[in-house]
Amino acid sequence: MNELRLFVRQLHALPCVLSQTILLKDLLTRVEDFQKYSEKLLSEEIPSASKLQELLEVSFDFDVDLPQLVELRIRLEQARWLEDVQNVCLDHTSLTLDDMRRLIDSGVGLAPHPAVEKAMARLQELLTVSEHWDDKARTLIKARPRQSLSSLEAAEKEIDVIPAYLPNGIALKDAVKKAKDWLQEVESLQAGGRVPVLDMLVELITRSRSIPVHLDYLPRLESLVAEVQVWKECASNTFLTEDSSYSLLEVLCPRCDIGTSGFKRKTKKTKESVPNGKKKSTKLESLCDLERALSECKETAAAMAMLGEARLKEMEALHSLRAINEEKIFSDEQNVEIKVCFCQREPAAPMIQCELCRGMFHTSCISVSSNLQGPWVWLCPHCHRSGKPPLEKILPLLASLQRIRVRLPEGDALRYMIERTVNWQHRAQQMLSSGNIKLLADKVDSGILYSKWQTVAGQLQETNKVSQTIGATSFSLPHEWNNRSIHLHSLFSTGQ
């Protein structure tokens, strides 16, 4: 630069004018302006990176060695780094630990400057604090045994004031929120004296497994569910027969599978979606529908009403099935293929009739004891579902469930069954004390079924003797059934 000034002075001292003098004078002027602006910009504590870049681009037009160029390049690197720090730290929710480490690593190689050193110290302090509380948050949510909610809330307050994104801190906040929501739901169950539903307790316990916080109410909920499971086992032992294929709920509830050979009870328990958020009407078409409806009932009275509705449907279906089965027996139609029993084959003696559904079964297809004497009631495997324990053995089950204070579908079904049993006993006692039992006995003794069978038996070539085997009345079939004998249990019996 000094050489350029000296050369321009020498040109002005010449006694002649050269054309290059003006160009050199202009170059000198621009270089001097560049130096003044550079000195002003470099005097700033944190110069703009864009202005420094513009100055360096202007210097490319000079074929002059300028001392400010080195300083400008150094300050440009510092300015770019400081602006990067400012931009990254602007949004605290996106400032990660990796971002801080990257900025510190890139700032280590910069030339010393007060602004850079200050930013580096601030970043290093923030990184140290962030790493400490991120590790602390991870320790709290991974701790075994689980830490109390108050401990996590205290850590959450410390993390909230840290202007950085801490992944474990976010997980800790989420755990605190879930724990508070969970506790609020449990407390709402206790409010108002309402008895909680088992499915809700199981759902709360299941959710608690994913909440890394010690929940004070959890042991009590687990104890309640365990008591209910013990109660269900006791009830199953009371009602279910050995090697029974039915569940306790199937035995206690009104039947939903009458006439379907039990296929409906295998339907999977699913929740159907309801469009437009409208409440779906309850359809008790299967045991799963009834179980879901009972689980969703908030009051016992509503559950009793729902079971009453299911009982009416059960009776309607049973009456229809009895009519269909009896029509098979007394049908006068010719050349009609009749199928009975589990095997769905034609009638063939010896056979036995279910007292409840009136279905006919081959004795070779079922297990019937030959040691039974006198009148008795036989039920087919579809109708004979439980061991029919005495009422004195059932009442303690209901009392123990009331002490547990948890509602479940099996409990509602047991309550409803006991109410029906007590009502039936009351009506039976009234009938016995009123003397109307004699009129009923006369109707039974008149042999309504026997009269029907006499109409059919009149077409027979011969009538077999009445057999007392397993308490059944023996008849012969019409000629169209190849005169094969069939054993039928009396249509009207004192059983079901």
Helix (H, G, I), strand (E, B) or coil at 485: strand
Query: When comparing pLDDT for 428 and 166, which is higher?
Result: 166
CB 386 within 8 A of CB 249: no
Three-state DSSP class for 475?
Answer: strand
Maximum mean pLDDT: which of 63-67, 180-184, 487-491: 180-184
132: pLDDT strictly greater than 80: yes
Torsion from C-alpha of 10, 13, 14, 16, nearest 10 degrees: 130
Q: What is the mean pLDDT of residues 419-436?
A: 86
Lowest mean pLDDT among 148-157, 185-194, 269-278, 412-421: 269-278
- CB atoms under 10 Å from CB of 166, counted, come to 23
- Higher-scoring residue by pLDDT: 335, 178: 178
Q: Kindly provide the b/e burial profile for residues 438-471, where b requires at least 16 CB atoms within 10 angstroms of the residue's own CB.
A: eeeeeeeeeeebeeebeebbeeeeeeeeeeeebb
Q: At what angle do helices 49-59 and 19-42 cross, to 10 degrees?
A: 160
Instruction: Dump pLDDT digits (tens) for 92-104.
Output: 889 999 999 999 9
Average pLDDT on 25-51 reads 68
Listed range (67-71, 235-239, 243-247, 422-426) with the worst mean pLDDT: 67-71
pLDDT at 67 over 50: yes
Percent of residues, the chain, with pLDDT higher than 90: 33
* pLDDT tier, 21 (very low <50, low <70, confident <90, very high otherwise): low
**Of the segments 165-169, 184-188, 492-496, which one has the largest average pLDDT value?**
165-169
CA-based nearest residue to 318, from 281, 275, 354: 354
Average pLDDT over residues 67-77: 77
Q: Among the residues of 246-390, which ranges form H helices?
A: 248-252, 287-296, 300-330
Is residue 251 within 8 Å of residue 239, measured between CB atoms?
yes
pLDDT score for 65: 61
Mean pLDDT, to the nearest integer, of 413-430? 91
Which of 51-55, 60-64, 247-251 holds the top average pLDDT? 247-251
Average pLDDT, the chain: 76
* pLDDT class of 326 with cuts at 50, 70, 90: confident
Q: Is the pTM of this model over 0.85?
A: no
Q: Region 197-206: what's the mean pLDDT?
A: 92
Range name among 83-92, 295-304, 451-460 with the lowest pLDDT average = 451-460
Among 136-140, 267-271, 348-352, where is mean pLDDT lowest?
267-271
The arithmetic mean of pLDDT across residues 467-472, rounded, is 29
pLDDT at 123: 95
Averaged pLDDT for residues 455-473: 31
Q: What is the rounded average pLDDT of the residues 290-294? A: 86
For the chain, give every domain's residue range: 1-142, 198-259+284-336+387-421, 435-467
Percent of the chain with pLDDT over 70: 69
pLDDT band at 312 (very low <50, low <70, confident <90, very high): very high
Model pLDDT, residue 224: 94
